[in-house]
Structure 1
Amino acid sequence: MLDLVFKAPRVITVVGEVARSIGVQDGKIVAIEPLEAGLEAEQVVQLRDDEVLLPGLVDTHVHINEPGRTEWEGFHSATRAAAAGGVTTVIDMPLNSIPPTTTVEALAVKRQAAEGNVFVDTGFWGGAVPDNLDQLRPLHDAGVFGFKCFLLHSGVDEFPHLNTKQMEEALQHMHDFGALMIVHAENSDAIDRAPSAEGERYRKFLASRPRGAENMAIAEVIEAARYTRARVHVLHLSSSDALPMLASARRDGVLITVETCPHYLSFSSELIPDGATQFKCCPPIRESGNRDLLWQGLKDGIIDCIVSDHSPSTPDLKRFDIGDFGVAWGGISSLQLGLPAIWTQAKVRGFSLVDVTEWMAARTARLAGLARKGRIALGYDADFCLFAPDEASVVDASKLYHRHAVTPYEGLPLAGVVRRTWLRGEPLDLTEGAVPRGRLLSRGDA
């Protein structure tokens, strides 16, 4: 007698979309059998014909901001939103919390804030800044999943950026203990020389963050990784120009991976209204032709995965009162919406749910080294998302679980609805007052 059985005419497994019965015991997947197999359990979930059982998504790029800027977002609200969006594992970025996660002591502060306050399993990235080289190995040993650095001002003064030499020094150090460096790749000199971003015009903001700034920084990252033989990951790729050199670097054996985000795959700069600062992010949303080439990069396997880069703030920091892109906070709020946003665009381009879960679950889990997340396979955690791909909805930001009702997806019709989420075989209760049951993860957790 198993704890739970799913009878699913459509389920995404490692062999594709098939009809299967999935058996769960003690929070693990212990049986994957033909649909008609007589698996018995205390609880049986029979999927409807319009539902597909997906692995729980893994979002490795989330700014939760607690402690220090919990009024922007927090562990309770962010992980509740994640669960509502079918995300069962998140990895928190080392900024914009105060203190940033750049020391073992700061990691302990963050873990204390998260303990008992997360609806989904939650891990942490460490930060690489100019004065913490001696903290990298202790943070690694304390369980962070890798280290984030910026190559230009991060947006917050307490998380300073690395120059190219400092990045190489950090990579050489990380190579000794096999750590991963994840990089916000924009070249500060190129942006300093670009036009000012001030004002309401989105085209002016776009010109202030040119593709060349991204391309130059990614070239620097590639050569640093080539020289040090360290593992690197390029965050939130927006410039399709960089795809050929990323592909070339991989052919040369450089250990580099790359992600992009739903907003770069959903929106285009031509349709962003002036003053609509809810669309501001760095690097920026670019032209429709660029968006199409990013989709081609996914198809070609150059882009590995899709993550939210959920980076909210309080509404006043978006400066809707003046609509000035030069002073508004740069960040997109979308953690709950990633799956339907990507499915809306993917289905019209001929991609399948198998593709989507590979980009948003399997490969993100692999990036973070989570050996039991991101797939429906024997021995994996029983993390599931029940998804209705043919049901449509219109985004109402006031009904999202994000702390603030601000998102560029407001009013947008999206394909696909997450109907239910399970974490280690238990359905997640997201009602007001529900007790969070997520766990805190450390690198190396089996």
Structure 2
Amino acid sequence: MSNPAGSHETADMYDLVIRGKRVLTTAGIAAREVGVRNGVVMALEPLGNALRGHTEIDLADDETLIPGLVDSHVHVNEPGRTDWEGFASATRAAAAGGVTTIIDMPLNSIPATVNVDALELKRSVALDQAFVDVGFWGGAIPGNKADLRPLHDNGVFGFKCFLLHSGVDEFPPLDPDEMEEDMRELTNYDALMLVHAEDSRTIDRAPTAQGDQYGKFLASRPRGAENLAIAEVIERARWTGARAHILHLSSSDALPMIASARRDGVKLTVETCPHYLTLMAEEIPDGATSYKCCPPIREASNREKLWQGLRDGVIDCIVSDHSPSTLDLKDLENGDFAVAWGGVSSLQLGLSLIWTEARHRGITLEQVIHWMSTAPADLVGLHKKGKLAPGYDADFAIFAADDAFIVDVTKLKHKNPITPYDGRALSGVVRRTFLRGHELDGITATGKLLRRGEITVERATNV
């Protein structure tokens, strides 16, 4: 950033300068110097311009500076189920994986985030434990329509509902008519409705999952249940004009109707998750309940169609759906898929998981970061997150794309040592993570609690 002649020496000093041959800007990867002041990117200049900073970092030749990831689908579970996960452990794991912002789901904490009192309790618990920035979703359940506007006014980023049993009794599902009624309510203030889209009637009539055979579990959560529920969401969004978001898409069958609905002007966005893009049903061993999630991991052919859905722009973003539990709830001793908790722990691993698969398909790192940072930030309305550009928060990760490692579950930062990726070889290592220009060390909690609408874009001069 240039300065007027005669300015004081400190005027052209930055708090932090990072320079290197590979900086992922909005125009692609380029040789750049990044100047940070007061937690914001203030300068982005060609390499060699000799920006000066109180702290200066030179990237190694194998390192790329990327914007911090935004994970809009994380179950932190605190308060109430802190033995499953907590804000300290979850946000440490996020930071280790290059994630600098998470949005916490309204369940499986007790109480669920379905009214303002519960939201304030959750914020009070998170306040001094957040190593990355944390925002919150609200919940839409039967009987809490009157709580939606107060939650919105208190800064939640939108509302999540289920169309079948959520797995916890304190967060009951909406039926489609109730969902439509809440959607109409949300149109009054343009709030987003997130939907776990599986049809309860279809699943009730499907075969039971009892036992240790993954094939039986897969048959108990058929694609048809997802497809029917997504069709329901599309039509209710069409009728109401509400903004709707499909959570954790696993059925590639739904992609054509999603694309069709968008062509019709339905306000619909869609996410998928690393487990649907990296794992396949054919390779899941019997009894391996660490793989259980809902909707389930499907076949290899389905996986490839999800990747195509991303390429085609039908799927907007990739987020973790980090949904941990204690080891005993995974029923590891018996491996019974009907009994085990359904959730995959992957918060720390998402970037490496997706990059490992993407590079084999000729997909660029720039595209991966769009799906995992820019698009989730846009979804949530965080207008200073998700890009490395002047005026944006100085949230970065230093990523060694060609480095590799073997996942060791005992070294991951989340609370309970279980993940289906244990022992898996992955490409891409997050070496350092920065939040608003300060390196995260896992010792000092410097994350902020975010509220919808509080953050405005402050554009700086791009020289």
Distance in 2 separating the partners of 1:419 and 1:29: 20
Selected match of 2:102 from 85, 90, 95: 90
Selected match of 2:146 from 134, 145, 153: 134
Counterpart position of 2:421: 409
Q: Tell me the CA shift for residue 18 of structure 1.
A: 1.1
Counterpart position of 1:441: 450
- Residue type of the partner of 1:246? I
Distance in 1 separating the partners of 2:185 and 2:20: 48
Distance in 2 separating the partners of 1:11 and 1:272: 38
Instruction: Describe how 1:307-318 pairs up with structure 2 within 5 A.
Output: 307-318=319-330
- Residue type of the partner of 1:140? H
Give the 3-state SS of the residue equivalent to 1:370 in structure 2.
coil
Selected match of 1:19 from 15, 31, 34: 31
Counterpart position of 1:111: 123
Q: Tell me the CA shift for residue 36 of structure 1.
A: 1.1
Selected match of 1:71 from 83, 86, 96: 83
- Residue type of the partner of 2:124? Q
Distance in 2 separating the partners of 1:182 and 1:378: 31
Distance in 2 separating the partners of 1:322 and 1:190: 27
- Residue type of the partner of 2:417? A
Distance in 1 separating the partners of 2:327 and 2:309: 34
Instruction: Describe how 1:286-301 pairs up with structure 2 within 5 A.
Output: 286-301=298-313
Distance in 2 separating the partners of 1:356 and 1:396: 24
Instruction: Describe how 1:393-404 pairs up with structure 2 within 5 A.
Output: 393-404=405-416
Selected match of 2:66 from 54, 79, 82: 54
Q: Is the 8 A contact 1:186 1:218 kept in 2?
A: yes
Q: Deviation string for 1:4-36 (max 9, x for gaps)? A: 111120011111111111110000000010011
Q: Is the 8 A contact 1:12 1:54 kept in 2?
A: yes
Counterpart position of 1:330: 342
Q: Is the 8 A contact 1:370 1:445 kept in 2?
A: no
Distance in 2 separating the partners of 1:8 and 1:184: 42
Q: Tell me the CA shift for residue 212 of structure 1.
A: 0.3
Distance in 1 separating the partners of 2:327 and 2:361: 34
Q: Tell me the CA shift for residue 435 of structure 1.
A: 2.0
Q: Tell me the CA shift for residue 255 of structure 1.
A: 0.3
Selected match of 2:204 from 189, 192, 206: 192
- Residue type of the partner of 2:242? A
Distance in 2 separating the partners of 1:13 and 1:216: 40
Give the 3-state SS of the residue equivalent to 1:309 in structure 2.
coil
- Residue type of the partner of 1:398? T
Q: Is the 8 A contact 1:61 1:90 kept in 2?
A: yes
> Identity, % of aligned pairs?
64
- 1:150 and 2:166 aligned: no
Q: Tell me the CA shift for residue 398 of structure 1.
A: 0.1
Distance in 1 separating the partners of 2:41 and 2:359: 29
Counterpart position of 2:132: 120
Counterpart position of 2:47: 35
- 1:251 and 2:263 aligned: yes
User: Which deviates further from its counterpart, 206-215 or 17-26?
Assistant: 17-26
Q: Tell me the CA shift for residue 315 of structure 1.
A: 0.2
Distance in 1 separating the partners of 2:29 and 2:312: 21
Distance in 1 separating the partners of 2:434 and 2:251: 36
Q: Is the 8 A contact 1:7 1:22 kept in 2?
A: yes
Q: Is the 8 A contact 1:30 1:378 kept in 2?
A: yes
Distance in 2 separating the partners of 1:230 and 1:23: 40
Distance in 2 separating the partners of 1:189 and 1:77: 37
Q: Tell me the CA shift for residue 63 of structure 1.
A: 0.1
Counterpart position of 1:235: 247
Distance in 1 separating the partners of 2:452 and 2:180: 23
Selected match of 1:371 from 383, 391, 395: 383
Selected match of 1:382 from 394, 399, 402: 394
Distance in 1 separating the partners of 2:23 and 2:453: 28
Q: Deviation string for 1:268-303 (max 9, x for gaps)? A: 000000000000000000000000000000000000
Distance in 1 separating the partners of 2:120 and 2:246: 27
Give the 3-state SS of the residue equivalent to 1:177 in structure 2.
coil
Distance in 2 separating the partners of 1:53 and 1:394: 22
Unmatched runs of 5 consecutive residues or more in structure 2: 1-12, 456-463
Counterpart position of 1:271: 283
Distance in 2 separating the partners of 1:445 and 1:75: 22
Counterpart position of 2:460: none
- 1:166 and 2:178 aligned: yes
Distance in 2 separating the partners of 1:244 and 1:36: 48
Distance in 2 separating the partners of 1:435 and 1:82: 14
- Residue type of the partner of 2:150? P
- Residue type of the partner of 1:387? F
Counterpart position of 1:319: 331
Q: Tell me the CA shift for residue 445 of structure 1.
A: 2.2
Instruction: Describe how 1:341-356 pairs up with structure 2 within 5 A.
Output: 341-356=353-368
Counterpart position of 2:5: none
Unmatched runs of 5 consecutive residues or more in structure 1: none
Distance in 1 separating the partners of 2:262 and 2:25: 28
- Residue type of the partner of 2:450? L
If the length of structure 1 is used for normalisation, what is the TM-score? 0.99
Distance in 2 separating the partners of 1:360 and 1:194: 34
Q: Deviation string for 1:76-131 (max 9, x for gaps)? A: 00000000000000000000000000000000110011011110000000000011
Distance in 2 separating the partners of 1:253 and 1:37: 47
Q: Tell me the CA shift for residue 152 of structure 1.
A: 0.2
Distance in 2 separating the partners of 1:108 and 1:330: 28
- Residue type of the partner of 1:180? L
Distance in 2 separating the partners of 1:274 and 1:97: 30
Counterpart position of 2:458: none
If the length of structure 2 is used for normalisation, what is the TM-score? 0.95
